[in-house]
C-alpha cells in the first residue's frame, strides 16, 4: 500500500477541485467495479458485488479533498492575495512553497512582512490571513493575473518520503490513506456487497458526504479517516488524543458524532481477537464525514476507523505505515463480520 499512498498524496485536490484525485481513483477502481458514477458535488461512488447480496446496506467512505488555498486578487505590484480552503494551520504557512492551478502549475511561496520589520507584539501573534500573500515572481497585477487568476486553487508542495523505519511524511495523508484502503479492498473478493464513496469537500463542512449518503441510503457506514495525533513534547498528557504507531483509532465519540456503540464494540472485538493494536481518542476533538452520514434520511448507524496523524492541516503531516496496514486489516475483518449479520 506504500506506493499507492505515495501516489495519492502527490496529487493535488483542494476541496472543490478534486478532479485529479478523482480521475486517478476512477482509473484504479474501474476494473473491479460493478458500477461507478460521479455525482453533482464531485463524489465518486463505486459499487462492487460480494459473495452475499446485500445491496446498498453497507457504505465505506473516505474523502478525496485536502486543505489548501484559493486566490482572491492580485496586488498592483504582482503579489497574490488568497484565502485558505479548510482549516489550515496559519502558524506554519509562512515560507511554504505552493503550486497554483490544475494545468499551469505555477510555483509560488507564501510570504508576509519581513520579520525584522515586525513589532515585538506582532511577533507574538499568529499572522492573520490578510497579512499573507503569495510571491510568484510577477511584477505587476496584469502579469500576476495572467499567471494565476482569481479563483485559482493552490496546493502545498511536499514530497512524500519515509521517516525512520515505519513513519511516512507527506501532504494530504488526510484522507488519501482512507482512499488507499478502499482501493485495496476494491481489488479483493468481498464477502458482501459494498458501496464505496470517495467524497468531495469534506474539509469545508462534509458537504460531499451529505449528497453521497442521501443517494446511497445505507443502513451502516464505516468512515475511514485520519485523526489528530497530539503526542508532542509540549502537550499535556491528557490532551495528546492519540499517537501514530499504536494502531488504528476506533472512535466512540468526537466533536461531531456519537458513534454507534454496537459497531464500536464489533470493531474492538475484531481488533482484539485478531491481534491488531488499537486505540481510542483520549481527548474528544475533531470530526469527519460520519457526522453528516449519520443524519441522512431516517438515520444511519456509523463507525469510524482512523489513522493517528501528526500535524494535520499543515503543509506536511506524519503517520505510521503499520497503522495504515492495520486499518486495512481491520476494515477487511469488519466486512467479513458484517456479512454474518
CB atoms within 10 A of CB 237: 8
User: Do residues 60 and 194 lie in contact, with contact meaning Cβ atoms separated by under 8 Å?
Assistant: yes
> Taking all residues of the chain, what is their mean pLDDT, rounded to a whole number?
94
Mean pLDDT of 307-320: 95
Residue 279 reports pLDDT greater than 70: yes
- Annotated catalytic residues are 202
Q: Evaluate the CA torsion angle 238, 230, 2, 180 in order and state its sign.
A: positive
- 157-186 pLDDT per residue, tens: 999 999 999 999 999 999 999 999 999 999
The C-alpha atoms of residue 333 and residue 316 are separated, in whole angstroms, by 31
Task: State the pLDDT at residue 63.
Answer: 98
d(CA 80, CA 5): 32
How far is 167 from 165, CA to CA, in rounded Å? 6
What grid cell was written down for 112? 508576509
- Beta carbons of 321 and 308 less than 8 angstroms apart: no
- Per-residue model confidence as pLDDT tens digits over 117-130: 666 776 667 778 98
Whole-number pLDDT of residue 124: 66
Residue of 290, 308, 197 lying closest to 245 (CA atoms): 308
Rounded Cα gap, residues 262 and 156, in angstroms: 39
Kind and range of the H or E run holding 229: strand 220-229
pLDDT recorded at residue 331: 98
Mean pLDDT along residues 280-298: 91
* Structural domains of the chain sorted by starting position, each given as residue range(s) with its CATH number in brackets: 2-66+171-338 (3.40.630.10), 68-156 (2.40.30.40)
Determine what percent of the chain is predicted with pLDDT higher than 90: 85
C-alpha 16/C-alpha 152 separation (Å) is: 11
| pLDDT tens readout for residues 93-143 | 989 999 998 777 999 999 986 565 666 776 667 778 988 999 999 999 999
What's residue 113's pLDDT?
A: 66
Q: Check: CB of residue 48 under 8 Å from CB of residue 182.
A: no
Q: Is the dihedral of CA 81, 87, 93, 96 positive or negative?
A: negative
Amino acid at each position: 500500500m506504500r506506493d499507492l499512498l505515495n501516489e495519492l498524496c502527490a496529487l493535488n485536490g483542494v476541496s472543490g477541485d478534486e478532479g485529479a484525485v478523482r480521475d486517478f481513483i476512477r482509473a484504479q477502481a474501474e476494473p473491479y467495479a460493478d458500477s461507478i458514477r460521479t455525482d453533482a458535488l464531485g463524489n465518486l461512488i463505486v459499487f462492487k458485488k460480494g459473495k452475499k447480496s446485500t445491496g446498498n446496506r453497507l457504505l465505506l467512505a473516505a474523502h478525496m479533498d485536502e486543505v489548501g488555498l484559493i486566490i482572491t486578487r492580485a496586488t498592483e505590484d504582482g503579489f497574490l492575495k488568497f484565502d485558505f480552503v479548510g482549516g489550515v494551520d496559519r502558524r506554519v504557512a509562512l515560507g511554504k512553497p505552493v503550486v497554483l492551478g490544475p494545468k499551469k502549475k505555477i510555483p509560488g511561496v507564501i510570504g508576509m512582512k519581513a520579520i525584522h520589520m515586525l513589532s515585538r507584539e506582532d511577533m507574538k501573534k499568529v499572522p492573520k490571513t490578510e497579512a499573507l500573500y503569495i510571491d510568484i515572481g510577477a511584477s505587476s497585477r496584469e502579469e500576476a493575473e495572467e499567471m494565476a487568476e482569481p479563483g485559482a486553487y493552490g496546493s502545498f508542495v511536499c514530497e512524500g518520503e519515509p521517516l525512520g523505519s515505519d513513519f511516512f511524511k507527506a501532504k494530504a495523508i488526510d484522507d488519501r490513506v482512507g482512499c488507499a484502503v478502499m482501493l485495496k479492498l476494491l481489488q479483493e473478493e468481498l464477502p458482501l456487497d459494498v458501496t464505496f464513496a470517495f467524497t468531495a469537500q469534506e474539509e469545508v463542512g462534509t458537504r460531499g458526504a451529505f449528497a453521497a449518503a442521501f443517494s446511497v441510503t445505507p443502513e451502516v457506514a464505516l468512515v475511514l479517516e485520519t485523526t489528530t495525533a497530539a503526542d508532542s513534547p509540549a502537550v499535556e498528557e491528557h490532551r495528546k488524543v492519540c499517537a501514530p504507531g499504536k494502531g488504528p483509532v476506533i472512535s466512540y465519540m468526537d466533536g461531531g458524532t456519537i458513534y454507534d456503540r454496537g459497531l464500536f464494540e464489533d470493531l474492538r472485538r475484531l481488533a482484539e481477537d485478531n491481534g491488531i493494536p488499537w486505540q481510542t481518542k483520549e481527548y474528544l476533538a475533531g470530526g469527519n464525514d460520519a457526522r453528516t452520514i449519520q443524519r441522512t434520511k431516517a438515520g444511519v448507524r456509523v463507525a469510524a476507523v482512523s489513522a493517528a496523524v501528526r500535524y494535520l492541516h499543515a503543509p506536511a503531516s506524519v503517520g505510521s505505515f503499520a497503522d495504515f496496514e492495520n486499518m486495512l486489516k481491520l476494515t477487511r475483518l469488519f466486512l467479513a463480520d458484517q456479512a454474518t449479520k
